[in-house]
Amino acid sequence: MGSATKPDRPGLIRRIAHLDMDAFYASVELLRYPQLKGLPVVIGGGRRREDDLLDRMRLLQPEREWTADHLSEIPVDVFPRLSGYVGRGVITTATYAARAFGVGSAMGVMKAAKLCPDAILLPVDFAQYRHYSRTFKDIVLDIAPLVEDRGVDEIYIDFTDVPGGQREGGRVLARLMQKTITDATGLTCSIGVAPNKLLAKMASEFNKPNGISIIYPDDLESKIWPLACRKINGIGPKADEKLRAQGIHTIGDLALKERDWLMQHFGQSHGAWLHDAAHGLDDRPVVTDSEPVSMSRETTFEKDLHVVHDRAALGEIFTRLCQQVAADLQRKGYVGKTIGIKLRFDDFQSVTRDHTLDHYTANPLEIRQVGGLCLKRVDMKRRLRLLGVRVGALVKVDSDEALHPTSHKPPSSKLTAQEPPAQKETCHEQADLF
């Protein structure tokens, strides 16, 4: 594994970790329903409503109180089972107990019901998953500064220069991260530490759940080569099929092929990449988060809403979204100048409008007011599926720009619609809708 040392720090072994949360959505759900621990549970099929199960309990046991504080007291036999499910929903993830039945991500709920009819089915709650996603990432950032965000439940971390990052190949630091995350959230994760991102990503799967796996440069032949080519992040089903057609099934098979042969059969750059990957070579740096350019909040409705009949509900939802995005900005220490809205109609057409202020803000009332003006510029001709608000042109709240806005440009409004601009008269009716 040639890229084991850092070019800028000769002699220092490059140690890169990949951290991935275990059965993430399902594990977050189990925090509020701990009575389901160890049981087969799948997440999918619909969105969480606040809170269907409590309503059911209020009917079953009206003599006592049922609030959000009592979720853990709901008896297991009250939870919906897969067997009762009819619909086209898809499973996002499953607990390890459900995986034992062959149930997993991206499977239709109906199919899963055949495999494990007694599994409990819970709806998704993205806001909750985002919250825990932010929490575990912040915890890791407190321990190690170089973190690359790879989605809702995974990150790469550069261990090389972090205290403890080289001890036992990174195991000591990995253990500290696992413990800190579990103590703070009750969630577990698995971590792979290796000389580079490619191998770390594979390694984090080796000892799931709640596992640590360390790969040293000498482990390539014993730990990596026996794996199927699909285990290389970047070899998808199509590429795998092409490799199989050439009799290449494992990473070891791939490593036996000459670089030139791979380049001939799979193209110059892909062939060279395949060769490097099979030999455990990967020089990609851990790319830390760049400053965000915008923050947004949006929501898809349970059922399409009518701009007139549902105006009160829409107004409330819009206010809440503005408050949420303002809270996001304030929590992360940003202010923005461009306020935008996004709508999706029941025919899936999307429309956006935005307005740029001459100053920066993170004030929910101001975001609400400017967002409301943007909404008035939309021809509300159909029912709405989705509503969102975005604040862009962000700067840090304590930056020079925020404190002394220098731009002398007049405030501007921009149409970014995927449909013709609204006509003034047609949207008059909705003028004070939200």
CB-hemisphere CA count at 13 Å for 329? 33
Contact 68, 108 (CB under 8 A): no
- Cβ closest to ligand TTP, residue 36 vs residue 254: 36
DSSP assignment letter at 206: T
Contact 214, 18 (CB under 8 A): no
Helical H runs in 267-394? 268-278, 311-332, 364-376
- Contacted entry of ligand TTP, Mg ion, none for residue 132, CB cut-off 5 to 8 Å set by kind: none
- Cβ closest to Mg ion, residue 94 vs residue 402: 94
Kindly list the catalytic residues: 154
Residue that the structure tokens 């929903």 belong to: 89
- Tell me the one-letter amino acid at 7: P
Binders of ligand TTP among residues 199 to 228 (CB under 6 A) are: 208-209
Q: How far apart are CA 314 and CA 300, in angstroms?
A: 11
Contact 194, 215 (CB under 8 A): yes
Output the smallest distance, CB 189 to ligand TTP, in A: 8
- Does position 20 interact with Mg ion (CB under 5 A)? The reply is yes
Task: Tell me, residue by residue from 290 to 319, as one string, x for binding to ligand TTP by CB under 6 A and - for no binding.
Answer: ------------------------------
- Does position 128 interact with ligand TTP (CB under 6 A)? The reply is no
Segment contacting Mg ion by CB under 5 A, of 73-81, 146-154, 174-182, 279-287: 146-154
Task: Tell me, residue by residue from 60 to 99, as one string, x for binding to ligand TTP by CB under 6 A and - for no binding.
Answer: --------------------------------xx------
Residue that the structure tokens 């604040």 belong to: 391
Q: Using CB under 5 A, which of 153, 310, 328, 379 touches Mg ion? A: 153
Q: Using CB under 6 A, which of 18, 19, 25, 132 touches ligand TTP? A: 25
- Does position 148 interact with Mg ion (CB under 5 A)? The reply is no
Name the 3-class secondary structure at 27. Answer: helix
Q: How far apart are CA 39 and CA 30, in angstroms?
A: 10
Q: How far apart are CA 53 and CA 57, in angstroms?
A: 6
Q: Which residues here bind Mg ion, judged by CB under 5 A?
A: 20-21, 24, 153-154
Q: Which residues here bind ligand TTP, judged by CB under 6 A?
A: 20-25, 92-93, 105-106, 152-153, 208-209
